[in-house]
Structure 1
């Protein structure tokens, strides 16, 4: 399956470098580029990319608002935020806007390529450092009431939810709960559906904004 990808960054050289890198991959097709948020919204509506690599700081319309608009129009799109800081306050706003993960601009090329594939597959991409930062931020900014859907989760799904909120991977969750990776994936899929969140990133945000767990 070809992954239709779009690059959004106000620096021409950054876009050119990312396109050169991604175009070498047989399963990734760069279908569009944009230099600001307004262009990104228009191009996303026209090209319907699967994954968008989105810079945050751009003229005319920043990446946060562009992400909100793009995802409001296309719920199936996935946004990977391009950033130079893994503790940037914009990270939290991007999660609220619906971003599925973050890519540091100084990461090795193979990690960027892997990130595109991970997000295209429907998973979220939060490094342990980013997850810890998100947890710390939302722990200090709690207050929303948890959704009633929390009550529909089974005991096992709550166990999985707790470990997702703690930043554990599927393999780590499986070892903690003594269940297979396949079983973990099934529980994750079901709890995300019940909570009506896009992916793990949004589940983590919900857990800490709503004070679901005391971790």
Structure 2
């Protein structure tokens, strides 16, 4: 994954229309939305009215054939950082602030602040840790989705646990990134999420999700077929070329019982013989 490099602004007053925010600590931000603080000043309704919904940066002018030409305006990706570890949160603030296409609009270190800021700021992306003290970040994700439906949530975690990963996918987060990822990969993932993609940060996470998808697909097909686990095992034995006599011996049944059960399998799979039943079970991914 590669990082996009855009022209930078160094020092001075931010371009018109850009809300500039500094790292906030727990003393500067309060959970009550009416007392949210930015840069040490209380936010007012008048400020909300004056700040446009979309903020833009203007790249430097370029000279073409002696004329001043301006490149098209490019929207900044508005990020809300939520992490109870100050080093991680402030570190990400510094990193993102150095990128021309990102704007950190706020920070929070607990669930109440996170929900209040999500509702107030309506950021493009929330970068969210799974654990916020006693608050579970995945539970918080669902509350944030109700408070700011258009915001895309990216889990940013140091935990490798497939249960958290699968739950995150089920509740509809747009990204699941490990804190061990290279910086360029994190930035590229955030840009991809902003552009509508869903992102998993590490190959093993993708493997886990695909394996779970395969399992769920098989479970769905099995449910649709009506076959029991035992019947699927019988089809598997038939696919291995075992005769009714061999299957009967293996299961401690009579051959008559095996024939009867195979007839039930043919009926459920709408097959006329053993070969067709095996082929249909393979097509459905049951064996």
User: TM-score over 0.5 for the alignment?
Assistant: yes
Structure 1: give runs of 5+ residues left out of the alignment. 147-211
> How much has 1:143 moved relative to structure 2?
9.3
1:92 counterpart (150, 166, 172): 166
1:114 counterpart (188, 204, 213): 188
Alignment partner, residue 54 of structure 2: none
In the TM superposition, structure 1's runs of 4+ consecutive aligned residues that sit over 3 Å from their partners are 85-88, 137-146, 212-215
> How much has 1:142 moved relative to structure 2?
6.7
TM-score scaled by length of structure 1: 0.62
Conserved 8 A contact 1:87-1:133: no
Q: What's the C-alpha RMSD, in Å, of the aligned pairs? A: 2.6
Alignment partner, residue 18 of structure 1: 92
Conserved 8 A contact 2:115-2:147: no
SS of match in other structure, 1:76: coil
- Report 1 or 2 for greater relative contact order, CA contacts < 8 Å, sequence distance ≥ 6: 1
The alignment of Structure 1 onto Structure 2 pairs a total of residues equal to 150
1: CA distance, partners of 2:163 / 2:98: 33
- Residues 40-94 of structure 1 deviation map (CA, whole Å, 9 limit, x = unaligned): 1111111111011110011243211111011123221111111124444211111
Q: Which structure dedicates a bigger proportion of its chain to helix?
A: 1
1:6 counterpart (58, 77, 80): 80
1: CA distance, partners of 2:218 / 2:110: 34
Structure 1 pair 214/35, CA: closer, same or farther in 2 (3 Å)?
farther
Alignment partner, residue 53 of structure 1: 127
Alignment partner, residue 136 of structure 1: 211
> How much has 1:139 moved relative to structure 2?
4.4
User: Which has the greater radius of gyration?
Assistant: 2
